[in-house]
Chain A
Amino acid sequence: MSIDSVDPDDVDAADILGSAIERREDPSLITGDAEYTDDIELPNTAHMAILRSQYAHADIKDVDTSGAEEMDGVIGVYTHDDLAREDTPGELPFMLPVAWLLPSLNAVDHPILADGRVRYQGDAIAVVVAEERYLAHDALDEIDVDYERREAVTSPSDALAGDAPELHAEADGNVALDWEIGDESKTDEAFADADRVVEFEADNQLLIPNAMEPRAAVADYSPGTDELDVFMTTQNPHVHRLLMSGVIDHPEHKLRIKAPDVGGGFGSKIHHYADEALVAWAAKHLERPVKWVATRSETYITDAQGRGHETTAELAVSDDGDIEGFRVDTKANLGAYLSTFAPAVPTYLYGTLLSGQYDIPAIHCSVEGAFTNVPPVDAYRGAGRPEASFVVERTMHLAARELDMDPTEFRRRNFVDSEDFPFETQVAVVYDSGDYEKPMQEAKDLVDYESFRERQAQAREEGKYLGIGFSCYIEACGLAPSELAGQLGAQAGLWESSVVRFHPSGTVTAFCGTSDHGQGHGTTYAQIVANELGIPYDDVEVVEGDTDEIPHGMGTYGSRSAAVGGSSLVKSAEKVVEKGKRIAAHQLEADPDDVEFSDGRYRVAGAPDRSMGIKDVAAQSYLAHDIPEDEEPGLEATSFYDPDNFVFPFGTHVAIVEVDPESGEIEFERYVAVDDVGNQINPKIVEGQIHGGVAQGVGQALYEGAEYDENGSLLTGSMQDYAVPKAEHIPEMETESTVTPSPHNPLGVKGVGEAGTIAAPQAVVNAVSDALEPFGVDGVEMPMTEERVWRAVNGQATADGSGERGDSDADEGGER
């Protein structure tokens, strides 16, 4: 079941697409040869450190920077007032933009340095630039801030309750957005006529992203040319260039954003934070390179967090087990300000997935987004879709139990029929393709479901509690087309650009506007391009992440790279092949219509000995001694590919656990993942993405959770208190695939980056719920610590669905 990597030299060129070849980026990454932002050492670099609020909510009466300024080696100390100075670059307001708008959105001001008020612990107040990094940090202690503390609020329901402290004068009652989707009256009717209503209520806790590499930036300014280079940890360099040019008021064509090797992001490096803009601003002001590298503690209080939902859901079902309606009400935590894509996450990336794999005739979802005194909340691996999948699959689990039906039979009964694709849901999306029974059946076979139930019954008699949990998830990747994204509020298109360029000697460089930060695009994109051009894989180099080298692109997030970036590369390669055909035909003295291209050779139809390899064509195109009269020299092509639709991967994950009711411990027996991500470019990379995704999903189910005290201070501010799972905490995963190609893109791919994270949490929670059924336990609040499990078994207050909320002690979360 585990896939073995193969050496690309052992793969025929014709088979390269779809082969599990080794990742070509790994030698550099694992030997330390890779160059991360902090490895960049420009001569005369100064170092920046950022003074952050120690309170989650306070007025700033005064900031006295004189103590820091007097220190030897401190070059400058800057506050909001300094941004406004005549002799510093740019002009106010220096606000961070929000790149997704909704009609109800309260787009509050978000200054890059606090302007009289801080709204989360970590809000930037001042920056120090010094000759040495440690000196810059030491100097922070010499800045004297006169705070006047305000009351804080951290949960969305508390923030929206009416009597909560208000964060923004322009956001009445802390309402950030108010949004709905689906047909409310149709849904009400479905409930009015329903035999039964199944209720589900649970929180989806705030998570901290924990990319391996903390955020960092190095900026370098040339006063002579007004060129500003920013090397930074980014998932989307062009988006950052566009946004930053506005934030610091620097012309976009004189701003270069380059992503060196980036050590993971999980979404946290999509957004435009204050910090990187401050680095660029300081470099421009001081006319020397400036570097900032976040400490791990800093990332804990500033990286945009994920999830943060409080949800009540109801499912209307018939006694026979047919789903008739689904109603969802969610309070979403958006944190202190609106982060870049935050408005999309609890709305269009969430509500649109609430039909799951099911044919539900009526759905209505309302979402209220709240400002709270936690860091801005934005996309984190899965972004809205894990929250949706959690609500849907927990509800399905409870509905099957309520109806006393087998959970797989109840799901199967309500699946969208494989004949019904493309399938339009009640929540505004059209599923491209699917066959939902296949992965579920495969998963059931793998775990030997029937005999498991026998084993479970026997174990219960022996006082052992085994449970099985299913998660039949749906995922949406490659948000598209741009016109639709625009209608939904995106302030950007969601196409992707690429360039495929032959060099005169016949090797190729492929450029793409996506930006790898661990996914292995260097490998998979080369597989795509080599396959299209019929040339050796080793002859293709992939370049991403530099706004000076690559046409405007949208970056890597939302599992879009293969479906949109990969497809764009196909389009560019096709254009190259087409141009090559005209040159080859000219050279072969044939009509282009009579020339066929396959396996890297142009052949005249019916005359197999008259042929020419594409590399020779490339050479001829650059020599330009003998090409068609109206043809330009050279052989390269650019594409801006805008897909017709999202792609919708799906699958079934199954967790089997044993729960010890005495201690609350959960032990995995099996974890089976059967995913359908369409065609696979590289099955080993697909497997790796599933593994990583499941690890993060299991992390949410069992270990992770950002906990704040009543003042908004983060209590899980380090890896000692916030448990990112280690290898020993993660079950051995058994992965399998089914393949249902997407009809929308030339590769038939669907995207795999987030699938595991979307699928895993509810598989584990459902398994624990199943194990504890004899105790009448419906579920346990995530993270399912031993204490919470024990309390659930012993009838104490923390089981979800118990109606108790918001009373969890600060010290019981996120620890293990």
Chain B
Amino acid sequence: MKFDGTFELDDTTTEEVWLALSDPVLVAAALPGCEFLVEVEDEDVDFDALREQYADRDLKPTADPDVIEERAFEEGATYAALVQISVGPVNPTFETVVTVDHREFPEMSASGEGSSGDSSFEMASSMALSETDDGVAVDWETEADVFGRVANMGQRVVNPVANQVVKRFFATVQQELRELEMADGDGETDDRSLTDRLLGRSRGDKT
């Protein structure tokens, strides 16, 4: 099944949104039900080990560009996530492995799959950022195949869940952006903005 949509984020810039969406910690915090999201060596992931390793980790989204630079998503890299989603009467926890297929400002795409005991999914997602009068529009689309028990619940159950997840994700991203902005404003010492640094640009070097 295919889902797509456009999400509008007010009072921000494409650079800021790009920055936020580059940080796995912020993405993990914004993704409802996400226990962790970490880079892994390959697609064969031992989730039990990861669960133990990251159970007590308490990383906060940061405004520190060095930290973000260190952990930002990379094209070609693979990430593992543990995500619990409520679908109708069930709450499957999906062990999810995603590879970033393409990442070049202002576009990003990723694909992967997730599985729980009796359900699984395969997906390919992409998004593109663009400026609007009030802020930033995120055009996103996901093509997903759902299998097992969740699939049997039909699109009338699955579609609203998917839309809800996306909506909550972007709402949280927007909120985090606001909070980070405040922190950013206080602590910035470099004369380039955090965004520029992350994008590897000198100040004002707009594309």
Chain A interface (Cβ within 8 Å of chain B)?
54-55, 121, 140-143, 149, 297, 300-301, 709, 711, 713-718, 720-721, 810-811, 815
Question: Does the CB pair B152–A300 fall under 8 Å?
Answer: yes
Q: How far is the CB of A741 from chain B (nearest CB, A)?
A: 48
Question: Does the CB pair A714–B151 fall under 8 Å?
Answer: yes
Q: Is B179 engaged at the interface, CB distance under 8 Å to the other chain?
A: no
Q: How far is the CB of B1 from chain A (nearest CB, A)?
A: 7
Question: Does the CB pair B152–A714 fall under 8 Å?
Answer: yes
Q: Is B147 engaged at the interface, CB distance under 8 Å to the other chain?
A: yes
Question: Does the CB pair B152–A720 fall under 8 Å?
Answer: no
- Against A, the Cβ 8 Å flags (1 = close, 0 = not) of B147-169 are 11101111111000000000000
Question: Does the CB pair A140–B118 fall under 8 Å?
Answer: yes
Question: Does the CB pair B147–A717 fall under 8 Å?
Answer: no
Collect the chain B residues with CB atoms within 8 Å of residue A811's CB.
Answer: 155-156
Given A716-B154, A718-B152, A718-B153, 6 extra CB contacts under 8 A: A55-B147, A141-B118, A709-B151, A715-B152, A717-B153, A721-B156
Question: Does the CB pair B119–A717 fall under 8 Å?
Answer: no
- Docked complex Cα distance between A232 and B1 (Å): 39
Chain B interface (Cβ within 8 Å of chain A)?
1, 116-120, 122, 145-149, 151-157
Q: Which residue of A lies closest to B148 (CB)?
A: A54
Q: How far is the CB of A786 from chain B (nearest CB, A)?
A: 16
Collect the chain A residues with CB atoms within 8 Å of residue B146's CB.
Answer: 713
Nearest 10 interchain pairs by C-beta: A717-B152, A54-B148, A141-B117, A713-B151, A721-B154, A54-B147, A715-B154, A811-B155, A714-B152, A711-B145
Collect the chain B residues with CB atoms within 8 Å of residue A143's CB.
Answer: 117
- Docked complex Cα distance between A121 and B154 (Å): 14
Question: Does the CB pair B154–A720 fall under 8 Å?
Answer: yes
- Docked complex Cα distance between A143 and B117 (Å): 8
Question: Does the CB pair A713–B152 fall under 8 Å?
Answer: yes
Question: Does the CB pair B155–A810 fall under 8 Å?
Answer: yes
Q: How far is the CB of A720 from chain B (nearest CB, A)?
A: 7
With contacts A54-B147, A713-B146 taken as known, whether A718 is within 8 angstroms of B154 at the C-beta atoms is: yes
Q: Which residue of A lies closest to B147 (CB)?
A: A54
Q: How far is the CB of A432 from chain B (nearest CB, A)?
A: 45
- Docked complex Cα distance between A142 and B151 (Å): 20
Question: Does the CB pair A717–B154 fall under 8 Å?
Answer: yes
Collect the chain B residues with CB atoms within 8 Å of residue A716's CB.
Answer: 154
- Docked complex Cα distance between A715 and B146 (Å): 10
Collect the chain A residues with CB atoms within 8 Å of residue B156's CB.
Answer: 720-721, 811, 815
Question: Does the CB pair A713–B147 fall under 8 Å?
Answer: yes
Q: How far is the CB of B7 from chain A (nearest CB, A)?
A: 23
Question: Does the CB pair B154–A54 fall under 8 Å?
Answer: no
Q: Which residue of A lies closest to B159 (CB)?
A: A811
Collect the chain B residues with CB atoms within 8 Å of residue A815's CB.
Answer: 156
Taking each of B116, B119, B152, which has the highest tally of chain A beta carbons within 10 Å of its own beta carbon?
B152
Collect the chain B residues with CB atoms within 8 Å of residue A709's CB.
Answer: 1, 145, 151
With contacts A718-B152, A720-B154 taken as known, whether A54 is within 8 angstroms of B1 at the C-beta atoms is: no
Q: How far is the CB of A570 from chain B (nearest CB, A)?
A: 48
Question: Does the CB pair B119–A54 fall under 8 Å?
Answer: yes
Interface majority SS on A: helix, strand, loop or mixed?
A: loop
Q: Which residue of A lies closest to B1 (CB)?
A: A709
With contacts A55-B147, A711-B145, A713-B146 taken as known, whether A297 is within 8 angstroms of B117 at the C-beta atoms is: no
A and B contact pairs by CB, cutoff 8 A, 8 listed: A121-B152, A709-B1, A717-B153, A720-B154, A720-B157, A721-B156, A811-B156, A815-B156
Collect the chain B residues with CB atoms within 8 Å of residue A720's CB.
Answer: 153-154, 156-157
Question: Does the CB pair B119–A715 fall under 8 Å?
Answer: no
- Docked complex Cα distance between A685 and B157 (Å): 40
Collect the chain B residues with CB atoms within 8 Å of residue A149's CB.
Answer: 122, 147
Collect the chain A residues with CB atoms within 8 Å of residue B157's CB.
Answer: 720
Q: Which residue of B lies closest to A711 (CB)?
A: B145
Q: How far is the CB of A351 from chain B (nearest CB, A)?
A: 34
Question: Does the CB pair B117–A142 fall under 8 Å?
Answer: yes
Q: Which residue of A lies closest to B117 (CB)?
A: A141
Collect the chain B residues with CB atoms within 8 Å of residue A141's CB.
Answer: 116-118
- Docked complex Cα distance between A713 and B153 (Å): 10
Contacting residue for A297 out of B1, B122, B152, CB 8 A? B152
Q: Which residue of B lies closest to A722 (CB)?
A: B154
- Docked complex Cα distance between A713 and B144 (Å): 13
- Docked complex Cα distance between A121 and B122 (Å): 16
Q: How far is the CB of A373 from chain B (nearest CB, A)?
A: 12
Q: How far is the CB of A721 from chain B (nearest CB, A)?
A: 4
Q: How far is the CB of A70 from chain B (nearest CB, A)?
A: 13
With contacts A720-B154, A721-B156, A811-B155 taken as known, whether A297 is within 8 angstroms of B149 at the C-beta atoms is: yes
Question: Does the CB pair B118–A54 fall under 8 Å?
Answer: yes
Collect the chain A residues with CB atoms within 8 Å of residue B148's CB.
Answer: 54-55, 121, 713
Q: How far is the CB of A773 from chain B (nearest CB, A)?
A: 34
Collect the chain B residues with CB atoms within 8 Å of residue A55's CB.
Answer: 147-148
With contacts A54-B147, A55-B147, A709-B1 taken as known, whether A301 is within 8 angstroms of B118 at the C-beta atoms is: no
Collect the chain A residues with CB atoms within 8 Å of residue B154's CB.
Answer: 715-718, 720-721
Q: Which residue of B lies closest to A810 (CB)?
A: B155
Collect the chain A residues with CB atoms within 8 Å of residue B149's CB.
Answer: 54, 297
Q: Which residue of B lies closest to A815 (CB)?
A: B156
- Docked complex Cα distance between A53 and B80 (Å): 24
Collect the chain A residues with CB atoms within 8 Å of residue B155's CB.
Answer: 715, 810-811
Collect the chain B residues with CB atoms within 8 Å of residue A301's CB.
Answer: 152
Taking each of A142, A713, A720, A811, which has the highest tally of chain B beta carbons within 10 Å of its own beta carbon?
A713
Q: Which residue of B lies closest to A51 (CB)?
A: B118
Q: Which residue of A lies closest to B155 (CB)?
A: A811
Collect the chain B residues with CB atoms within 8 Å of residue A140's CB.
Answer: 117-118
- Docked complex Cα distance between A140 and B157 (Å): 23
Collect the chain A residues with CB atoms within 8 Å of residue B116's CB.
Answer: 141
Q: How far is the CB of A792 from chain B (nearest CB, A)?
A: 23
Collect the chain A residues with CB atoms within 8 Å of residue B153's CB.
Answer: 717-718, 720-721
Collect the chain B residues with CB atoms within 8 Å of residue A713's CB.
Answer: 146-148, 151-152
Q: How far is the CB of A787 from chain B (nearest CB, A)?
A: 14
Taking each of B118, B151, B154, B155, which has the highest tally of chain A beta carbons within 10 Å of its own beta carbon?
B154
- Docked complex Cα distance between A141 and B116 (Å): 8
Q: How far is the CB of B148 from chain A (nearest CB, A)?
A: 3
Collect the chain B residues with CB atoms within 8 Å of residue A714's CB.
Answer: 151-152
Collect the chain A residues with CB atoms within 8 Å of residue B145's CB.
Answer: 709, 711
Q: Which residue of A lies closest to B154 (CB)?
A: A721
Q: How far is the CB of B115 from chain A (nearest CB, A)?
A: 8
Collect the chain B residues with CB atoms within 8 Å of residue A715's CB.
Answer: 151-152, 154-155
- Docked complex Cα distance between A726 and B47 (Å): 46
- Docked complex Cα distance between A713 and B157 (Å): 14
Q: How far is the CB of B72 from chain A (nearest CB, A)?
A: 32
- Docked complex Cα distance between A711 and B153 (Å): 15
- Docked complex Cα distance between A811 and B154 (Å): 8
- Docked complex Cα distance between A419 and B36 (Å): 81
- Docked complex Cα distance between A54 and B120 (Å): 8
Q: How far is the CB of B146 from chain A (nearest CB, A)?
A: 7
Collect the chain A residues with CB atoms within 8 Å of residue B117's CB.
Answer: 140-143
Q: How far is the CB of A520 from chain B (nearest CB, A)?
A: 35
- Docked complex Cα distance between A718 and B153 (Å): 7
Q: How far is the CB of A687 from chain B (nearest CB, A)?
A: 36
Collect the chain A residues with CB atoms within 8 Å of residue B1's CB.
Answer: 709, 810
- Docked complex Cα distance between A143 and B146 (Å): 20
Q: How far is the CB of B151 from chain A (nearest CB, A)?
A: 4
Taking each of B122, B147, B155, which has the highest tally of chain A beta carbons within 10 Å of its own beta carbon?
B147
Q: How far is the CB of B122 from chain A (nearest CB, A)?
A: 8
- Docked complex Cα distance between A55 and B155 (Å): 17
With contacts A141-B117, A142-B117 taken as known, whether A711 is within 8 angstroms of B152 at the C-beta atoms is: no
Collect the chain B residues with CB atoms within 8 Å of residue A718's CB.
Answer: 152-154
- Docked complex Cα distance between A714 and B149 (Å): 9
Q: How far is the CB of A586 from chain B (nearest CB, A)?
A: 69
- Docked complex Cα distance between A146 and B122 (Å): 15
Collect the chain A residues with CB atoms within 8 Å of residue B118's CB.
Answer: 54, 140-141
